[in-house]
Homo-oligomer: A and B are copies of this chain.
């Protein structure tokens, strides 16, 4: 062992002890007769001292040669420190070094390894092993570890069994694109990597496992957007003999445990909201309730005043920002530009200032009397000092644009209460989405989601009106989990496949084993899956999941450190084309 202690644990209780430490040279300060070295490891930093009086000449000059990130092993005595450093746990002591061994040298790192690094994203990804030495990155990884261990222990105590499902499975073209793995032993046959263990967990329920969980890698070969990873990790859960309420109760329990342990928040209330209400009030299916900015439908209040924008569109809505009536013209223009960007796509942004002196001013004063404007202000319960932003257009798009604006306003005007924890169960999703390009229905969740019983009759006549037994868990504006009560009935499952436009041949060849399984006593069951990467990020108030992944890929799906994907040798390519 290269050490008796780590660099984070010595204190005044260890005075006069002879200790051995190992670690990285974090910093060297030389002041003529004295050299101080900050020795760093995962656990902390301990100050080493070499001085010309008490250290041998050889040792002193060796210390003088130390470079940043050298790995050393030292022996020495724990002594009291003159200038106490209150920022670190070992700040009351230092080690008077009696001997030193250089375990490894280091080139000068290509970026600083401080909390705030000067390295750009690409450079830090290429040298990720150095980036990980930085405290914030290490802490993220350690937090993720603690989070997943807590989840495991909670679920295990609640009777869930951790069962590994296979990674080399069968490709099912329905849904996102699979990563494909050629089988050398079975020429022209291919495995696929799982997008989720969905069918396997259902088979485990059919197998009588009753409660299952797994923290599991999933794979999706998608054209990557910012902050999407081709491989990601899911906390995957399934239960038998349950309905939606049972699922909510169980996983509110899990989340409450996590809120308590990691956020120090007790008795957090779980809101519930239908998908429709979420869209109509917040313009998004994952609303952030840490701030208000609710959307108001003002279609009726704006029609018939001769203003073409309102009159020609079938929908108008507003959000109210409190105490911002004195925004400058420039700030408003800036927001207008923002919302007209192609990513948002609004055609414009209207406004009404409800001034502190109770006067009212709008961007469409020409058409609206103060009385007319007041009706709108009342609709939004506006008070003097507030400002209203208005979007007009097609309903679906306007709500989405307003939903985006809402988030942007909260950020710009710092309206988010970071002390709040706002979980919401979003429920009552439609079972299907109509795809205008392919002229067919797609499953909004996946084809194994059941419909609410009261809508079953509509399956044949108006499938687009059928509401699913599906739910998302939204936390502070992030979808952290989602699930559904599954179909456990053979006939319904086949009907759904048919509604999705699959021929009997197609669904039998892809899902025949599931259909078979449903014939052998499948219990009612349902479940949920949480994105672990996202969950960790949301708990730490971060936007970027990449920061919580030890070796993430960039937006082109590349690992810049190991340089993957890469070309193959001729022999490997030959094996592949067998």
Enumerate chain B residues within 8 angstroms of A109, measured Cβ to Cβ: 520
Interface bits A136-165 vs B (CB < 8 Å: 1, else 0): 001001101100110011001000011111
Q: Which of B24, B107, B246, B489 contacts A519 (CB 8 A)?
A: B107
Does any Cβ of B come within 8 Å of A368's Cβ?
Answer: no
Enumerate chain B residues within 8 angstroms of A203, measured Cβ to Cβ: 128-129, 551, 561
Interface bits A179-222 vs B (CB < 8 Å: 1, else 0): 11111111011111100000110011011111100000101010
Return A12 CB to nearest CB of chain B, in Å: 23
Enumerate chain B residues within 8 angstroms of A387, measured Cβ to Cβ: none
Enumerate chain B residues within 8 angstroms of A144, measured Cβ to Cβ: 163
| B-contacting residues, A297-312, CB 8 Å | none
When A1-B243, A145-B162, A168-B230 are in contact, do A104 and B521 touch as well, CB less than 8 Å? yes
Does any Cβ of B come within 8 Å of A133's Cβ?
Answer: yes
Q: With the chains together, A230 CA to B162 CA distance in Å? A: 21
Highest count of chain B CB atoms <10 Å: which of A186, A243, A556, A576: A186
Smallest Cβ-Cβ distance to A506: which chain B residue: B569
Return A250 CB to nearest CB of chain B, in Å: 10
Q: Which of B6, B521, B556 contacts A186 (CB 8 A)?
A: B556
Interface size on A, residues (CB 8 A): 122
Enumerate chain B residues within 8 angstroms of A242, measured Cβ to Cβ: 1-2
Q: With the chains together, A246 CA to B576 CA distance in Å? A: 43
Enumerate chain B residues within 8 angstroms of A24, measured Cβ to Cβ: 208, 521, 523
| Interchain CB contact under 8 A, B42 and A209 | yes
| Interchain CB contact under 8 A, B128 and A207 | yes
Q: How many copies does the complex hold?
A: 2
Smallest Cβ-Cβ distance to A566: which chain B residue: B170
Q: With the chains together, A100 CA to B575 CA distance in Å? A: 58
| Interchain CB contact under 8 A, A179 and B180 | no
Enumerate chain B residues within 8 angstroms of A41, measured Cβ to Cβ: 208, 210
When A1-B246, A109-B520, A207-B132 are in contact, do A562 and B169 touch as well, CB less than 8 Å? yes
Q: Which of B43, B523, B557 contacts A183 (CB 8 A)?
A: B557
| Interchain CB contact under 8 A, A165 and B513 | no
| Interchain CB contact under 8 A, A565 and B521 | no
Does any Cβ of B come within 8 Å of A166's Cβ?
Answer: yes
| A residues apposed to B, CB below 8 Å | 1-3, 6, 22, 24, 40-43, 69-71, 73, 103-107, 109, 127-133, 138, 141-142, 144-145, 148-149, 152-153, 156, 161-171, 173, 177-186, 188-193, 199-200, 203-204, 206-211, 217, 219, 221, 223-224, 230-231, 233, 241-243, 245-246, 488-489, 512-513, 516-524, 549-551, 553, 556-559, 561-569, 571-572, 575-576
Can you report 11 A-B residue pairs in the complex whose CB atoms are below 8 A from each other? Answer: A40-B208, A104-B489, A109-B520, A153-B153, A166-B551, A167-B231, A170-B563, A182-B182, A183-B565, A188-B567, A192-B564
